[in-house]
Structure 1
Amino acid sequence: MEAERADKNVKITVELLKSRSGEFDLESILFLKLKNVGICHLGCVGDCVNLERLDLSGNNIANLTPLASLKLLIVLNLSANRIANLDPLHSCENLQSLNLAGNLISSVDALRSLTELKNLETIRLKDTVCNFSNPVCLNTSYRSAVLEIFPKIKVLDGERVSGRGSDLYKLCKDIDASLKEMYSSGSFGELPGPKKWVEDSYWELKPVWKIQTDKSIEQFYGILKECKELNSKAADVIAKTERTLHTLK
């Protein structure tokens, strides 16, 4: 059904908004999902003045003018559309998260109209999972240019760049890259197969390889040992509880 609708040029109407939201009054709509409907014209969506979350991904939208009246909008997903001009969004003063992956944004300058959005924390121009991007992403320096325009941004393209967790994210990313390099070079030999979460041997400690004798590895095995002990204690508590319940029957 959605595939059939996606081939049509749909305009947002009062009837469509009411049927999708289940609300009789447009001002009562706080959340709206209009994904893959084939929308090419936003129509009267601007009448939903109390809208906080809006998903318009996977449509044929090019003109964002009707969104200018959505002052309370917090989360906006516009991925996979035909958007090149973002100017109408400068009025969405409460916007915190904006997904623009898979559109026609050709330069970083197109984002400058959003610089007055003081609450904006998350911007996505590229989504490698869905293979969505924008022409601007072809520029190797676009990330640094975006971060220069939005110095307070916390997440860009799904990667945390500032705020709590940014250092941890970078550390994990570096570790992941190092592990991939070691795997590809054969330093670890043949990788073991996956283990089931509930297998008895899951918590068994494995001998530490000589190349992994640093402090971080020791800490890891210490945590693993604690997890094993907690797992054992939890199993004992569950067994005792089951016995108690059995005696009460």
Structure 2
Amino acid sequence: MTTSTDILCYAMRYQGDWSRIAQAIHSHEPVEPVISRSPWVTFLDPDYPACFRKLRYPPWILFYHGDLSLLDRPCAAVVGSRDATMQALRNTTAVVNALKERYVIVSGLARGVDAQAHRAALDKGTVGILGCGIDRVYPRENAALFSAMKKNHLVISEYPWQTTPLPGHFPWRNRLIAAAASVVVVTEAREKSGTMYTVDEALSLSVPVWCLPTDFSRKDHCGCNRLIHQGAGILCDLQQVREL
């Protein structure tokens, strides 16, 4: 029978690769003692976050720093462009301020909208979900934010220490952002971007998606308008945000 410590061993051996861990479990690969430098919880454990069990591919293991119980509370994902405009950053702050009294704010600790969403929620509760090893501050400009969230909020990853932030990790990570959320709010996005992976996963999980409309002339950030055209909800004012 596979145990939690077996999964830890496989996760360390294969740097969190979901498929290779699954194969190791299936074939009962031999295990050896390993040590994690951060707390961790596996799919087999009772304190594993319930929100991730509904995924088609739930993480086998989560490494974390902070308060794991934040994921037991209602969460709102606030996501968007890494190269966000100043208006999008101001809008993100306003949206988070309207949501954070009732929701824990979840995002991906990336630059731009993600980082702004976390910062605006530091006086309440926020969860950052990484696409790299739990020890990796990526991007480096978020080092102070990362440190504050580890201490007083929650940072989680399915990738163990020293796992490189590879491009393929981030679309895969975005399924966790969607699964953690009761609602997803997109404040700005490019038409082809990682944000769209979060939206797609949210829709597959029947999580409602709401978008802030973008200036018609902003062809470089037309993702929200495209999503609204395709059926996402449109947020017209802060009162509407407060009612989500």
TM superposition score normalised by structure 2: 0.25
Higher relative contact order at CA 8 Å, sep ≥6: structure 1 or structure 2? Answer: 2
Q: Which has the higher strand share?
A: 2
TM superposition score normalised by structure 1: 0.25
Q: Which structure has the larger Rg over C-alpha atoms?
A: 1
